[in-house]
Structure 1
Amino acid sequence: MFSCRSLLLQLLSVCSLTAPSLALPFEQRGFWDFAMDGEVGDLTTVMMRDEEGSAVEELPPDVSLCPFGCHCQLNVVQCSDLSLTAVPKEIPRDTKLLDLQNNRITELKENDFKGLTNLYALSLVNNKISKVHPRAFTPLLHLKKLYFSRNLLTVVPKNLPPSLVELRIHENRIKKVAEGTFSGLGSMNCIEMGGNPIQNSGFEPGAFKGLKLNYLRISESKLTGIPKDLPDSLHELHLDNNQIQAIELEDLSRYKPLYR
């Protein structure tokens, strides 16, 4: 049994209703910002640490291939700030980090990432994407980090890669998280989806079914209460700058890790 004082402290630290949260939303300033929690420097070191012991296929480098205007080096393909309207062709098959931010891409098609089975991190930040083919992410067997912020999505795409551990999808136009959206993902470290005009009714029953999640942020949205059926594995829940007036104890009673 937890005291009222313990609960009050938890609410103040986890989901402040009136003051901005101390945990600022993710902001990617450059391609090498793929590391989390303030980690900076050599991303390759972080990537290899995360992949240690994995069975990622090693492919010979496609040194002769690089999309026009892009920069390709050491399994990294940078195609940012090129005014691209579609995902470029001829991306090397051994690519592990693909940067497509700050372009004008409007849609992800079925074969846009064909053959990129080794891709570890994908940045689509600040495009105009409103449509994602249901099988667009199928080839991405080892994708860990997907940065999809500042686009025009109205729903969270389905069929996300099962290997995904981090999803940043804030500042879109998301109004709906459909049933089964995160099914098959297993365990994830972080989902950041603040800055979307989503209401409580936008979370369909079963949207998070089967998902084990540590960190969830739904700030600056249109929530009037804690959404139902959130993952009961949550250690951090950030709901700052919503329209929540009060929280009942029963709303948080199932999220036991929040009390630790």
Structure 2
Amino acid sequence: MATKSNAEIIRDGLWSNNPALVQVLGLCPLLAVTSTVVNAIGLGLATLLVLMGSNLAVSLIRNFVSDSVRLPAFVMIIASFVTCAELLMQAFTYELYQILGIFIPLIVTNCAILGRADAFASKNPPLPALLDGAMMGLGFLAVLVILGGFRELVGQGTLFTDMDLLLGPMAADWGFRPLANYPDVLFMILPPGAFIGLGLLIAIKNGIDNRLKARRAQAPKEPASTGSKRVRVTGQVS
């Protein structure tokens, strides 16, 4: 398997093979907890930590684990990093941890994490595996934050409320309400609203990809350079 370049790994994680918009993995937490930006950031950072740690660990042991116990070993590694993320949230962001509830332990079952461990980290050196975990985690985090911001704004008419749950007292005043007397749209706060928001994001991404593809197809192609041919003229002497 040819190792991808760093640019390809970054592009895949953030756009071309985004775990939420392209692979459509990890939908359970993505749809359930993205009612606000702070919830989305909390879950996204925990997933990013687990992705980076598990990818690095799997890459380091890839030559020492037999195929018969490969997947159980990967799950144990992922569960260990999820436990670390859970303990960190309990220690530093306990109220946010309580809000996210069962969806933090459920990171263990996130198909995106196990999929990257098996498809990429187990076949590549540590540094590319770490970069892949970071980019996939950032891509997933970006979708969570955009979806959380969209649902919070449309559903409650606010943005960045309760950021102090994650960042402490300095973020207590970050929340604001762009429109006064905004009527809450309960539908967007509930899980069905998450399906609508995610569908719009996937449609926007596909539209951008199609437009870029059409633009590349319409771009004039440079003519292939042809080397000058040497013509030998032979004269006839009568």
Q: Looking at both structures, which has the greater relative contact order when contacts are Cα pairs under 8 Å and sequence separation is at least 6?
A: 2
For the criterion TM > 0.5, the same-fold answer is no
Rg larger in structure: 2
TM-score, with normalisation over the residues of structure 2?
Answer: 0.23
Please identify which structure carries the higher helix content. Answer: 2
Please identify which structure carries the higher strand content. Answer: 1
